Amino acid sequence: MATKFLYLFSEGNANMRNLLGGKGANLAEMTNIGMPVPQGFTITTEACTQYYEDGEKINDEIQAEIMEYIDKLEKITGKKFGDLENPLLVSVRSGARASMPGMMDTILNLGLNEQVVDVIAKQSNNPRWAWDCYRRFIQMYSDVVMEVGKKYFEQLIDEMKEKKGVTQDVELNADDLKTLASQFKAEYKAKIGADFPSDPKEQLMGAIKAVFRSWNNPRAIVYRRMNDIPGSWGTAVNVQSMAFGNMGDDCGTGVAFTRNPATGEKKLMGEFLTNAQGEDVVAGVRTPMPIQEMAEKFPEAFAQFQDVCQKLEDHYRDMQDMEFTVEHGKLYMLQTRNGKRTAAAALKIACDLVDEGMIDEKKAVAMIDPRNLDTLLHPQFDPAALKKATPIATALPASPGAACGKIVFTADDAKEWAARGEKVCLVRLETSPEDIEGMVASQGILTVRGGMTSHAAVVARGMGTCCVSGCGAIKMDEENKKFELDGKVYQEGDWISLDGSTGNIYGEAIPTIDASISGEFGRIMAWADKYRQMGVRTNADNPRDTAQAVKFGAEGIGLCRTEHMFFEEDRIPAIREMICSDTVEQREKALAKLEPMQQGDFEAMYEALEGRPMTVRFLDPPLHEFVPTEEEDIALMAKDMGKSVEDIKAIIAGLHEFNPMMGHRGCRLSVTFPEIARMQTRAVIKAALAVQARHPEWTMVPEIMIPLVGELKEFAYVKSIVTSVADELIKAAGSDMKYKVGNMIEIPRAAMCADDIAPHSDFFSFGSNDLTQLVFGFSRDDAGKFLDAYYEKKIYESDPFARLDQHGVGRLIANACRWGRSTNPDVKLGICGEHGGDPSSVMFCHDIGLDYVSCSPFRVPIARLAAAQAAIKNPRATESKCRRAM
């Protein structure tokens, strides 16, 4: 049977959202439940995909079906396209599966031409209205279909208003509007080189094509990328007979929400304009009145509208966002959809709906967008001040929140300025581990280089500090402590504001306010915990972040990056000494200095965890990251170590690697320098024994994780070092403490050989940052430079370092899970790359059967919610081992 590409509203229903788009499905549903909906038809999303498959053409089959449906609509309405007695006028609107407000195009009053305008002017006895419709149609059609641009038409309107000495569009009379219509058509002809189309069917085909085309306009593409909407979905097109809100003072149009979308308060909220069409409300040409005033102007229509609102909420069991028109006092519903809302409103509405008996807990959990929670956890700009500000540039939104501070260029300055009470933003070409203390002291971080998983981004997300990264537009002059952006020079001490949620950069001070967490937040989270089946841990490497993560509901630490513990000022000399040692003895001497510090760190972390588990990952990064780059630091180090500056420089030069990400790092460090693994094992086990002794009520089971494993024998070698040291210490302490040794899977070879490794490993933690880097073969630090071109050319839709590439990297992970479990059904499986806090990736992790995800502290609530949503949508037969054990 041939594919059916068109549906009358009366043929569809709310469940057909994929095919009819949200708007089409809801128009159908409203029709079915007897709402006053002007009739029409929907051209399916499949027709849109077909349009693209056919090389941006509407094929003959679909064209024929459109003609057939015009016929049907003419019969239903008793009106005809171009008819001189009873002309049919329609609106043409886009409507994708997921709502994308304002992203695509709309055309109203289609079907008008010179003759038809005369007819409706006479019939309605309202020539002003008729000509207003026509000039609007020419304007919209020219802009949307022929891409002539709005500004020429707006200019003509302004000139006309000036000539007539009026300020409002509504003050123009029929003759003015008629003159404008002919000026518009002349403008059209001048730009396009052809007459404005007068055949309504030709107009309709042009409009449908334009809506299909608008699916791929730049703002729609950006919106899709931000909201995880696949480009393959396409948009549906709704063709609906017009109801007119601009026929006089007994007409009007409005938009309304059944509850307040900013606060969630259960009170109708909306705006209404008399004698106007829909776009006037949205475009802000005139100031609309609050919806409540409609009660006085149109008591009957208002009462009916209130009734419709109630019915729609009861029907959809969610807050509705509606568009409607009143034509000569009669109400017409043009659209309804689940309304967009702030995070705070989303939580309140979900809880209220549960309390009102409208939905159950699962539905409440499912209806919150996890990404929105972020805004509840970080400081935000004062909305009034933000409205007045214009960004000077936009870069990667690497870590959410808002920051406002004075520009500083070095980590030391950040520390110093902050110590004397100044608020600072640290601006760097890129950050390095040595900057960590400066990053802690800063309100926000801005980098010129680096992507979403660059050092700055990962560290900032961990700390919950706002970070905007990869702003290539900055011309940096670090030496002279200034930079140039968009032709303006910014010096040290100048104010800057950063929005880590949008990537916007402002060259001025915008005050921030602390976000408040309302009581509903806890309720929703408790329900999420009840229904999720995966564990949620955190990535943390200091007690402060650990405590924060525990507050956010983390059930333990899934990744403690031990190298971060060495970045602090009092540790760096010892680790540098270790790196620059020539002999095992020298190295052991340096390691002996580090051991008590490391043990102390672990003890503090265990204390902050209050008995929850912690996976400690052994040293991972290339060693050269720790060595000094400044002359004075090199000299200091030479002095400390009793070596010459030349010797130290030679050692540093010797550590140089062409590709450090694929170089001497991870477990390779333990293979070459087993004493590092020995020291770290001692620090972990001794810390756990000490904490166990202090807290007999806790059951300490330390977990040691070996990074960057690619081969069983490599893992077995490092593991044997760990077990021999650990067993001896535990025995000597007279303890029977258990411990676990597992490995990261972040090298494709480890994933391919998961069945070899699993019988020897207690757990796998997928390091999806490195795994993505190595599966794609592009650097996690540099990919940001070229990925934009890939989005533009629709090769990739999203950053694979932020959102797991389920098709490639995800498939490898899923297979590794299967292979690993085939030889060791008890191997615990988790993920600790950045994807562990990304909602769609978390849902994927649930679907492939991972036991837990681990993410930065500020993403823990997001991961808890996403895990619950995945479990509600696709429940597993059994709870994961991890949740039972934790």
Binding site for Mg ion (CB under 5 A): 746, 767, 770
Q: Name the β-bridge partners of 336.
A: 322
- Binder among 541, 746, 762, 851 for ligand PEP (CB under 6 A): 746
Phi, psi of 741 (to 5 degrees): -125, 120
Among Mg ion, ligand PEP, none, residue 23 binds (CB under 5-8 Å by kind) = none
In the bound state with Mg ion, the residue whose beta carbon lies nearer, of 675 and 770, is 770
Q: Is 622 in the site for ligand PEP (CB under 6 A)?
A: no
In the bound state with Mg ion, the residue whose beta carbon lies nearer, of 326 and 751, is 751
Q: Which two tokens stand for residue 322?
A: 């509606």
Among 739, 883, 856, 838, which Cα is nearest to 465's?
856
Site stretch for ligand PEP (CB under 6 A), options 139-147, 356-364, 764-772, 866-874: 764-772
In the bound state with ligand PEP, the residue whose beta carbon lies nearer, of 561 and 883, is 561
CB of 746 to ligand PEP, least distance (A): 4
Residue tagged 């809801």 (tokens): 26
CB of 772 to ligand PEP, least distance (A): 8
Do 782 and 216 form a contact (C-beta atoms < 8 A)?
Answer: no
CB of 281 to ligand PEP, least distance (A): 47
In the bound state with ligand PEP, the residue whose beta carbon lies nearer, of 784 and 833, is 833
* 3 state DSSP class of 363: helix
Site stretch for ligand PEP (CB under 6 A), options 262-270, 696-704, 767-775, 837-845: 767-775
Annotated catalytic residue, options 133, 378, 455, 564? 455
Q: Is 545 in the site for ligand PEP (CB under 6 A)?
A: no
Q: Is 770 in the site for ligand PEP (CB under 6 A)?
A: yes
- Binder among 16, 239, 559, 608 for ligand PEP (CB under 6 A): 559
Nearest-10 crossing angle of helices 543-551, 584-609: 30
Do 379 and 401 form a contact (C-beta atoms < 8 A)?
Answer: yes
DSSP state of 246: -
**CA separation for the pair 190, 443 (Å, rounded):** 54
Q: How many residues bind ligand PEP (CB under 6 A)?
A: 10
**CA separation for the pair 43, 366 (Å, rounded):** 29
Among Mg ion, ligand PEP, none, residue 683 binds (CB under 5-8 Å by kind) = none
Site string for ligand PEP, 793-832 (x = CB under 6 A): ---------------------------------------x
Catalytic residue list contains 832: yes
Among 803, 621, 610, 611, which Cα is nearest to 707's?
621
Sign of the CA dihedral running 277, 281, 284, 289: positive
Residue type present at position 221: I
In the bound state with ligand PEP, the residue whose beta carbon lies nearer, of 538 and 768, is 768
Among Mg ion, ligand PEP, none, residue 832 binds (CB under 5-8 Å by kind) = ligand PEP
* 3 state DSSP class of 745: strand
In the bound state with ligand PEP, the residue whose beta carbon lies nearer, of 405 and 767, is 767
Residue type present at position 751: A
Among 115, 192, 180, which Cα is nearest to 149's?
192
Residues 601-620, interacting with ligand PEP (CB under 6 A): 620
Among 144, 137, 73, which Cα is nearest to 111's?
137
In the bound state with ligand PEP, the residue whose beta carbon lies nearer, of 435 and 770, is 770
* 436, containing H or E segment: helix 436-441
Q: Is 767 in the site for ligand PEP (CB under 6 A)?
A: yes
* 446, containing H or E segment: strand 444-447
**CA separation for the pair 327, 133 (Å, rounded):** 14
Site stretch for ligand PEP (CB under 6 A), options 56-64, 133-141, 761-769, 855-863: 761-769
Q: Is 706 in the site for ligand PEP (CB under 6 A)?
A: no
CB of 455 to ligand PEP, least distance (A): 9
In the bound state with ligand PEP, the residue whose beta carbon lies nearer, of 94 and 615, is 615
In the bound state with ligand PEP, the residue whose beta carbon lies nearer, of 258 and 769, is 769
**CA separation for the pair 431, 233 (Å, rounded):** 39
Q: Is 562 in the site for ligand PEP (CB under 6 A)?
A: no
In the bound state with ligand PEP, the residue whose beta carbon lies nearer, of 277 and 598, is 598
Residue 202, class by beta-carbon neighbours within 10 Å (0-12 exposed, 13-18 middle, 19+ buried)? Answer: exposed
Q: How many angstroms separate the Cα of 373 from the Cα of each of 233, 351, 467?
A: 26, 15, 18
**CA separation for the pair 850, 784 (Å, rounded):** 29
Q: Is 833 in the site for ligand PEP (CB under 6 A)?
A: yes
Give the Cβ contact number of residue 423 at 10 Å: 17
CB of 651 to Mg ion, least distance (A): 25
Residues 119-138, interacting with ligand PEP (CB under 6 A): none
Q: Is 561 in the site for ligand PEP (CB under 6 A)?
A: yes
Do 676 and 619 form a contact (C-beta atoms < 8 A)?
Answer: yes
Site stretch for ligand PEP (CB under 6 A), options 335-343, 522-530, 576-584, 763-771: 763-771
CB of 316 to ligand PEP, least distance (A): 40
CB of 655 to ligand PEP, least distance (A): 18
Do 613 and 703 form a contact (C-beta atoms < 8 A)?
Answer: yes
**CA separation for the pair 382, 400 (Å, rounded):** 15
Annotated catalytic residue, options 309, 425, 832, 845? 832
In the bound state with ligand PEP, the residue whose beta carbon lies nearer, of 22 and 830, is 830
CB of 508 to Mg ion, least distance (A): 38
Q: Is 576 in the site for ligand PEP (CB under 6 A)?
A: no
3-state secondary structure string across 289-307: EEHHHHHHHCHHHHHHHHH
Q: Produce one character per residue of 854-885: b if its CB has 16 or more CB atoms within 10 Å, e if not.
A: bbbbbbbbbbbbbbbbbbbeeeeeeebbbbee
What is the number of the residue whose Cβ is closest to Mg ion?
A: 770
**CA separation for the pair 759, 293 (Å, rounded):** 72
Give the Cβ contact number of residue 704 at 10 Å: 24
CB of 774 to Mg ion, least distance (A): 10
Q: Is 169 in the site for ligand PEP (CB under 6 A)?
A: no
CB of 153 to Mg ion, least distance (A): 55
CB of 770 to Mg ion, least distance (A): 4
Catalytic residue list contains 425: no
In the bound state with ligand PEP, the residue whose beta carbon lies nearer, of 350 and 750, is 750
* 3 state DSSP class of 248: coil
Do 771 and 831 form a contact (C-beta atoms < 8 A)?
Answer: no
Q: Which two tokens stand for residue 667?
A: 């477990």
Among ligand PEP, Mg ion, none, residue 559 binds (CB under 5-8 Å by kind) = ligand PEP
- Binder among 372, 454, 546, 768 for ligand PEP (CB under 6 A): 768
Site stretch for ligand PEP (CB under 6 A), options 441-449, 636-644, 762-770, 803-811: 762-770
CB of 850 to ligand PEP, least distance (A): 14
Which chain residues interact with ligand PEP by CB under 6 A? 559, 561, 620, 746, 767-770, 832-833
Positions marked catalytic: 455, 832
